[in-house]
Amino acid sequence: MSGSPSEHAGAVGHHFAAFDRRDWHRPVDRGPLRFAVVGVGTFAKNRALPAISTVEQTETTVFVSNTVSESDPVAREYDIEAVVGYDEFHAGAATDDYDAVYVAAPNAFHREYAESAAKHGKHVLCEKPLATSVADARSMVDACEDAGVTLMTAYRLHVEPATRRTRELVQEGYIGRPVQVHSTFATKLLDGHDDDHWRLDPSIAGGGATIDLGVYPINAIRFLLDEDPVTVQGVTNAWGSAFDRVEEHAAFQLTFPSGVVASCSTTFDGQPDSHLQLVGTDGSISIDSPYGGDVPQEVTVECGDMRMEYTGAPVDDVCEEVAYFANHVLTGRRPGPDGRDGLTDLRVVEAVYDSAENGRRVELDADD
């Protein structure tokens, strides 16, 4: 993008002037959207339930759990009168009491809960990864499409302000033509978790650092570039004794039709950190800590001699995600990160595993 440093700064500042604007919002004349939360575990208690309670157009009316009862403190806190077991949920219990489900159960169970919700005519907001395999994800997509219900993969980055403002800058050419992307996501899985944590069981998690953490940069980069990768090359390994069944570390490279190359690394045993940088022919954009639960909303834009740092107000990204989903359902629109979005990411994840196992670059065909 041509222009003086002051012109660049002014143009960038224009996008950040209303940093947290909900540009996806449409007026709603009905609601609230009533949720059945499937899997009342740590994430549901700490993030999903408070978010649903906070968003004006949503409320939780049903718990689906085999371990929580109506007398449980969390049920009393959210005034939940209908608590049904998993078998009861599949059989259609309490279907008059909810409009949509939030699937917050471990990965391997996403498919069965989403398909039962679709069978009962309920919309689905499903945590990521969408499933543990491409086959399961495709079955979920087909079930929801056949039932005419919304399926959204819970990619909070699609509605998180720093990511949305960065996408706008990329699309409008502020860094010229994107050429490279660099991203990392590292965490200490076993800090606070035992060696029997479900994420260490491939039959439940579907894999290790690639499928659990890798979907974050995969999806974020696809969203920012507005294109899907065509080749994948990856390496995985494990050193810790707890990681005898899933990979502890992963690194992979994605190439896109435009020629952009993205290099990503993830680890279950590294100094906690996340970072995303897009490098273009005329500048770069960096987002600090985009993938954690507490996003600082810090964006740095460099273009020639101009460097601009912006820190937005804190935003609860789960609240944004829930509000986005509800607004799209209540206004009859299809959300951006839908089921096919989650399906595409799993195709990339499986290609990383294929590449790591066979030591070759994997070409991705267009999905059906």
pLDDT in tens, 67-117: 998 889 999 999 998 999 999 999 999 999 999 999 999 999 999 999 999
**In this predicted structure, what is the pLDDT of residue 152?**
98
296 has a pLDDT exceeding 80: no
Superfamily of domain 5-20+157-363 in the CATH hierarchy: Dihydrodipicolinate Reductase; domain 2 (3.30.360.10)
Tell me whether the CATH fold assigned to 5-20+157-363 matches the one assigned to 33-154. no
The residue ranges of every structural domain in the chain are: 5-20+157-363, 33-154
| The residue type at 27 | P
**CATH code of the region 33-154:** 3.40.50.720
222 or 10, which is more confident? 222
CA distance readout (Å), 138 to 33, 131, 215, 305, 351: 26, 9, 16, 47, 16
Q: Mind listing the pLDDT tens digit for each residue in 182-200?
A: 999 999 998 877 788 999 9
Q: What is the mean pLDDT of residues 325-340?
A: 97
- Quick one: pLDDT band at residue 368, thresholds 50, 70, 90? low
1 has a pLDDT exceeding 60: no
**In this predicted structure, what is the pLDDT of residue 318?**
95
With helix as H, strand as E and coil as C, how does the chain read?
Answer: CCCCHHHHHHHHHHHHCCCCCCCCCCCCCCCCEEEEEECCCHHHHHHHHHHHHHCCCEEEEEEECCCCCCCCHHHHHCCCCEEECHHHHHHCCCHHHCCEEEECCCHHHHHHHHHHHHHCCCEEEECCCCCCCHHHHHHHHHHHHHHCCCEEECCHHHCCHHHHHHHHHHHCCCCCCEEEEEEEEEEECCCCCCCCCHHHCHHHHCCCHHHHCCHHHHHHHHHHHCCCCCEEEEEEECCCCCCCCCCCEEEEEEECCCCCEEEEEEECEEEEEEEEEEEECCCEEEEECCCCCCCCCEEEEEECCEEEEEECCCCCHHHHHHHHHHHHHHCCCCCCCEHHHHHHHHHHHHHHHHHHHHCCCEECCCCC
Q: What is the dihedral of CA 239, 241, 244, 249, to 10 degrees?
A: -30
For the chain, the average pLDDT equals 93
Q: Which residues pair with 186 in a beta bridge?
A: 267, 273
137 has a pLDDT exceeding 70: yes
Q: Mind listing the pLDDT tens digit for each residue in 26-35?
A: 999 998 999 9
Tokens 């009316």 map to which residue? Answer: 61
- Quick one: pLDDT band at residue 295, thresholds 50, 70, 90? confident
**In this predicted structure, what is the pLDDT of residue 36?**
98
Q: Mind listing the pLDDT tens digit for each residue in 48-66?
A: 999 999 999 999 999 999 9
- What token pair was written down for 101? 């489900």
- Quick one: pLDDT band at residue 240, thresholds 50, 70, 90? confident
